[in-house]
């Protein structure tokens, strides 16, 4: 798979407020992202994960280091539209990213900006709404919808641009469990069925385990990077970063502390159950 985003030695500090030192947010971050990956980025509040996301489509500009997106420098003012068209971004609060007062008009917003001709625009809006399963609500006012529905509208607004990559900054943080499930399902389908690269910033472990790859950040640096199984073996390290681990990994970790020989990388409940049965069976005999 070709690399679509490569970040090398990225440094960024937020400009200093009066009388204060600049607030460093990212320190020598290097990361390569391949086409079609589903990546979860984990980290506690203020670890720089949102800041990192905003470098991927030129909302923030690196102090030093480089972000290359589809062969373009992400900080290049000339190519900003081309970059943003390819790297869509969805934010946490759906209320603050919906611009129009009717659902389909909002989905069309990016297309209007890009100067897409009218007949194609209608087609792409319909397609995007279909994808997120919101076609029935196309003439509704967004403020009458549930959080999960609003967030799916926000995703449709990005999808209409036909981006190759979508970055989502804690898109489920303000949603109820039902809304979270809807959003997660939509993202997985997008990734599996049309090969959109998904970069999901989250602090829900159950979402992270569904990704192909998990990147853990702490204090502006990449701490861990690997498959969910690899990453969630480091239970102690994750705890020290004040992160949770999936409950199954937590249980295995606790058992291993007691010198019970279970494998550490067990993420699904079924697998976990099998392991426990094996252990209990062994003791019984």
Partner 1 sequence: MIKDITLGQYFPGESFMHKMDPRMKLILTLFYVVSLFLVPDFWGFAIVGALMLLIIIFSGISLKVVLRGLKPLMFIILFTAFFNVLYGGGEPLFPEIGWLSWLKAEGVRNALFMIVRIILLILGTSYLTYTTSPVMLTDAMERLLRPLKAFKLPVHELAMMMTIALRFIPTLIDETDKIINAQKARGADFETGNIFRRAKALIPILIPLLISAFRRAEELADAMECRCYHGGEGRTRYKVYSFGWRDFLALALMVTVIGAIILLMIF
145 binds partner 1 (CB under 8 A): no
Which H or E element spans position 25? strand 23-34
Report the relative pairing of strands 165-169 and 87-90 from DSSP bridges.
parallel
Q: Binding residue for partner 1 (CB under 8 A) from 108, 190, 209, 211?
A: 108
C-alpha angle 68/70/72, rounded to 5°? 50
Contacts 24+ apart (CB under 8 A), 252-255: 255/279
Structure tokens at 10: 């990225």
14 binds partner 1 per the rule CB under 8 A: no
Q: Which alpha helices (DSSP H) does the chain contain, by range?
A: 49-55, 80-86, 103-107, 109-114, 118-132, 147-159, 177-194, 205-208, 228-231, 235-240, 247-257, 269-284
Residue 131 Cβ vs partner 1, minimum distance, rounded to whole Å: 16
Measure the CA–CA gap between 166 and 155, rounded to whole angstroms: 9
Binding residues for partner 1, rule CB under 8 A, total 41
Which of residues 113 and 242 has its CB atom nearest to partner 1 in the complex?
113
Which residue among 4, 62, 89, 205 contacts partner 1 (CB under 8 A)?
89
152 scored as a contact of partner 1 (CB under 8 A): no
Give the start-end residues of each E strand in 207-274: 213-218, 221-226
Burial of 8 (0-12, 13-18, 19+ CB in 10 A): middle
Q: Within positions 67 to 86, which residues make up the interface with partner 1, using CB under 8 A?
A: 80-81, 84-85
104 near partner 1, judged by CB under 8 A: yes
Give me the residues paired with residue 68 across strands. 6, 73
Closest C-alpha to 31, from 19, 44, 18, 40: 40
Q: What is the residue whose two structure tokens read 């069976």?
A: 281
Residues 192-231 that bind partner 1 (CB under 8 A): none
Give dist(CA 173, CA 203) in Å, integer.
Answer: 8
Choosing from 64, 101, 178, 240, the residue that interacts with partner 1 (CB under 8 A) is: 101
Which residues fall within 8 angstroms of residue 50, CB to CB, at 6 or more apart? 169, 170, 201
Q: Which of 39, 42, 111, 175 binds partner 1 (CB under 8 A)?
A: 111
Choose between 140 and 181: whose C-beta lies nearer to partner 1: 140
Whose Cβ is closer to partner 1: residue 77's or residue 193's? Answer: 77
Q: Which stretch in 101-109, 170-178, 210-218, 277-285 sits in contact with partner 1 by CB under 8 A?
A: 101-109
User: In angstroms, rounded to a whole number, what is the distance separating the alpha carbons of residues 61 and 270?
Assistant: 45
Q: Which stretch binds partner 1 (CB under 8 A): 32-40, 119-127, 211-219, 260-268?
A: 119-127
**Least gap, CB of 151 to partner 1 (angstroms):** 12
Nearer to partner 1, 59 or 269 (CB): 59
Given the complex with partner 1, which of 58 and 218 has the nearer CB atom? 58
Q: How far is the CB of 109 from partner 1 (least distance, A)?
A: 6
Query: Binding partner 1 by CB under 8 A: which of 10, 29, 69, 98?
Result: 98
The contact set with partner 1 (CB under 8 A) reads: 54, 57, 59, 80-81, 84-85, 88-89, 91, 93, 95-102, 104-105, 108-118, 121-122, 125, 141, 143, 154, 157-158, 161
């Amino acid at each position: 798979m070709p690399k679509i985003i490569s970040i090398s030695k990225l440094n960024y500090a937020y400009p200093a407020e009066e009388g204060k030192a600049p607030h460093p947010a990212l320190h020598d971050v290097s990361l390569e992202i391949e086409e079609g990956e589903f990546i979860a980025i984990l980290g506690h509040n203020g670890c720089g994960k949102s800041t990192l996301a905003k470098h991927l489509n030129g909302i923030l500009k690196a102090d030093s280091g480089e972000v290359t997106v589809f062969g373009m420098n992400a900080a290049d003012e000339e190519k900003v539209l081309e970059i943003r068209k390819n790297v869509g971004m969805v934010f946490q609060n759906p209320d603050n990213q919906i611009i129009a007062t009717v659902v389909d008009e909002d989905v069309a917003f990016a297309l209007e900006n890009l100067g897409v001709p009218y007949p194609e625009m209608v087609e792409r809006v319909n397609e995007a709404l279909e994808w997120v399963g919101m076609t029935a609500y196309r003439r509704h006012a967004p403020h009458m919808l549930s959080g999960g529905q609003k967030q799916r509208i926000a995703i449709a607004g990005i999808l209409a641009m036909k981006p190759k990559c979508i970055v989502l900054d804690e898109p489920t943080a303000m949603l109820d469990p039902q809304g979270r499930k809807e959003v997660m399902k939509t993202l997985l389908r997008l990734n599996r069925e049309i090969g959109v690269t998904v970069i999901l910033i989250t602090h829900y472990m159950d979402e992270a385990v569904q990704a192909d790859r998990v990147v853990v950040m702490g204090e502006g640096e990449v701490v861990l990077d690997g498959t969910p199984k690899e990453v969630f073996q480091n239970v102690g390290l994750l705890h020290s970063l004040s992160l949770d681990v999936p409950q199954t990994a937590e249980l295995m970790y606790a058992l291993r502390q007691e010198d019970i020989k279970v494998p550490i990388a067990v993420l699904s409940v079924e697998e976990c159950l099998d392991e426990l049965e094996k252990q209990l069976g062994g003791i019984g005999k």
